[in-house]
């Protein structure tokens, strides 16, 4: 697989996504829900067959699929740390928050640019008396420095995204936040959802070896729903989340229960919940194999994404549309953006609807229209999408 083969029509990958009809549709929702490769269906069916054959004994096979997902996550992070799996990032975030001593350190630091699962939960905690400090996300170039400056001895945790979900801006210098947290005894949680599958994220090289990392496969990784994770830092071994399910006892069930103290499994399972649908892990494991077979590494996908963003930006700039209607941040190089092109609009929701009526799938967040390419789209498809945008803005 090489970049030239993906630029052509038909795109060299498109045939592998035939059930999502990616060659027939203009799906610029790659930052929100990428199409699944056809092999995902094999994983779905294998989950059914194992359940039909083994009934309740299916969990042995399911655990192997879960471990394959963990191995895939570790590879993406270039890290060998423990991985907790969850249906969504919110449940993992809640378990994390329940494991830190918020009574003794009742202060959480975050930004005003976090995704809704964190934004809403932290806002609700603030209503209950937890001090929540929201640092302005813009400008992204100085965000890490500004976050580090407000960490103090009362701070339980800092929660920040590696990539801002509204604008696709990469947040540089998170190692400075990690150092501030380390010196003050606070935890750092990095939301990597908009980074995974877009560019390499080697934790230790980035100075994030002590960080907790949240992420999932619903977006760029093409794993579908139910495939989220929490990477645990080495010092997490002694933490005991208050919000806990019985799967967090696995490995200890044979022991004599202690009536006075809840016990936890080792590793990532100490942050586990309870019974879940393992179909998601079958699907994810099969898709991760497919991505490895096709050479869809973070490094290669970064090259693809940068090309596609460059094409979209260039064709958009050529339209020379009124900035009062729609514009983009031309003052920042595309290398500082992740997986989508964010266009600030007078009526982002209206443009999204107008594009949908012309067969172009996008989405909007507040004042931003988000155009999310994916590796199975050809250059011609991206140009058609911008041509449709021109008619909507005429």
pLDDT tens, position by position, 240-283: 999 999 999 876 655 666 778 899 998 999 999 999 999 999 99
Residue 393: partners with Cβ closer than 8 Å, 6 or more residues away: 319, 321, 325, 326, 351
Q: Tell me, what's the pLDDT at 57?
A: 95
Half-sphere exposure of 33 (CA within 13 A, CB side): 8
Closest alpha carbon to 380 in 16, 32, 22: 22
pTM score over 0.85: yes
Question: In order of start, what are the domains of the chain with their CATH numbers?
Answer: 3-35+297-393 (3.90.1150.10), 42-290 (3.40.640.10)
Please tell me the total number of residues recorded for the chain in this structure. Answer: 394
Q: Tell me, what's the pLDDT at 303?
A: 97
Q: Evaluate whether 156 touches 100 at the Cβ level (below 8 Å).
A: yes
Tokens 């009742």, located at residue: 106
Which residues on neighbouring strands pair with residue 369, listed in sequence order?
Answer: 343, 364
Q: Tell me, what's the pLDDT at 238?
A: 86
Helices in 320-371 by DSSP H: which ranges?
348-357
b or e along 89-103 (b: 16 or more beta carbons within 10 Å of the residue's beta carbon)? bbbbbbbbbebbebe
Please give the Cα distance from 111 to 113 (Å, whole number): 5
Helices in the chain by DSSP H: which ranges?
3-7, 39-54, 59-77, 89-97, 116-127, 143-150, 174-184, 279-293, 298-319, 348-357, 379-393
Please give the Cα distance from 219 to 195 (Å, whole number): 10
Instruction: State both tokens at 108.
Output: 């959480």
pLDDT tens, position by position, 107-158: 999 999 999 999 999 999 999 999 999 999 999 999 999 999 999 999 999 9
Residue 55: partners with Cβ closer than 8 Å, 6 or more residues away: none
Greatest Cα pair distance, the chain, in angstroms, is 72
pLDDT in tens, the chain (394 residues): 899 998 999 899 999 999 999 999 999 999 999 999 999 999 999 999 999 999 999 999 999 999 999 999 999 999 999 999 999 999 999 999 999 999 999 999 999 999 999 999 999 999 999 999 999 999 999 999 999 999 999 999 999 999 999 999 999 999 999 999 999 999 999 999 999 999 999 999 999 999 999 999 999 999 999 999 999 999 999 899 999 999 998 766 556 667 788 999 989 999 999 999 999 999 999 999 999 999 999 999 999 999 999 999 999 999 999 999 999 999 999 999 999 999 999 999 999 999 999 999 999 999 999 999 999 999 999 999 999 999 999 8
If one counts every other C-beta atom within 10 angstroms of the C-beta of residue 13, the result is 22
Residue 4: partners with Cβ closer than 8 Å, 6 or more residues away: none
Q: What Å distances lie between residue 33 and 245, 280, 358, CA to CA?
A: 29, 15, 19
Question: Which sign, positive or negative, has the C-alpha torsion 231, 234, 236, 238?
Answer: positive
Please give the Cα distance from 196 to 109 (Å, whole number): 23
Residue 96: partners with Cβ closer than 8 Å, 6 or more residues away: 157, 187, 189, 212, 230, 241, 271
Instruction: State both tokens at 287.
Output: 């898709």
Coil, strand or helix: which one is 49? helix
Closest alpha carbon to 285 in 222, 215, 230, 219: 222
If one counts every other C-beta atom within 10 angstroms of the C-beta of residue 267, the result is 17
Q: What Å distances lie between residue 319 and 1, 146, 147, CA to CA?
A: 32, 37, 38
Using alpha carbons only, give the angle 386, 312, 323 rounded to the nearest 5 degrees: 70
- Sort 130 into a burial class: Cβ within 10 Å, 0-12 / 13-18 / 19+: middle
Helix, strand, coil shares of the chain as percentages rounded to 5? 45, 15, 40
């Amino acid at each position: 697989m090489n970049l030239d083969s993906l630029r052509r029509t038909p795109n060299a990958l498109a045939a592998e996504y035939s059930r999502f009809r990616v060659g027939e549709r203009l799906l610029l929702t790659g930052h929100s829900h990428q199409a699944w490769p056809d092999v995902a269906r094999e994983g779905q069916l294998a989950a059914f067959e194992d359940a039909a054959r083994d009934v309740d004994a299916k969990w042995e096979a399911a655990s192997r699929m879960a471990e394959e997902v963990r191995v895939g996550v570790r590879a993406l992070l270039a890290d060998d740390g423990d991985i907790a799996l969850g249906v969504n990032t919110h449940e993992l975030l809640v378990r994390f928050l329940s494991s830190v001593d918020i009574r003794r350190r009742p202060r959480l630091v975050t930004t005003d640019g976090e995704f809704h699962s964190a934004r809403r939960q932290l806002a609700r905690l603030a209503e209950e008396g937890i001090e929540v400090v929201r640092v302005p996300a813009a400008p992204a170039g100085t965000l890490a420095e500004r976050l580090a400056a407000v960490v103090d001895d009362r701070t339980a945790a800092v929660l920040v995204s590696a990539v801002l979900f509204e604008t696709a801006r990469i947040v540089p210098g998170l190692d400075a936040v990690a150092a501030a947290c380390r010196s003050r005894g606070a935890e750092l949680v990095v939301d990597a959802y908009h980074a995974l599958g877009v560019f390499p994220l080697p934790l230790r090289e980035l100075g994030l070896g002590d960080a907790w990392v949240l992420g999932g496969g619903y977006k760029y990784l093409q794993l579908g729903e139910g495939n989220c994770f929490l990477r645990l830092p080495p010092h997490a071994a002694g933490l005991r989340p208050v919000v806990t399910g019985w799967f967090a006892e696995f490995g200890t069930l044979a022991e004599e229960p202690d009536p006075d103290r809840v016990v936890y499994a080792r590793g990532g399972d100490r942050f586990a919940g309870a019974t879940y649908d393992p179909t998601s892990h079958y699907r994810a494991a099969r898709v991760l194999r497919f991505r490895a077979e096709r050479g869809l590494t973070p490094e290669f996908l970064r090259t693809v994404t940068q090309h596609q963003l460059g094409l979209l930006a260039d064709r958009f700039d050529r339209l020379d549309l009124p900035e009062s209607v729609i514009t983009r941040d031309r003052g920042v190089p595309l290398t500082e953006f992740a997986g989508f092109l964010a266009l600030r609009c007078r009526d982002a929701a209206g443009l999204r609807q107008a594009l949908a009526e012309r067969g172009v799938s996008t989405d909007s967040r507040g004042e931003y229209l988000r155009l999310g390419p994916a590796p199975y789209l050809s250059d011609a498809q991206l140009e058609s999408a911008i041509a449709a945008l021109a008619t909507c803005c005429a």
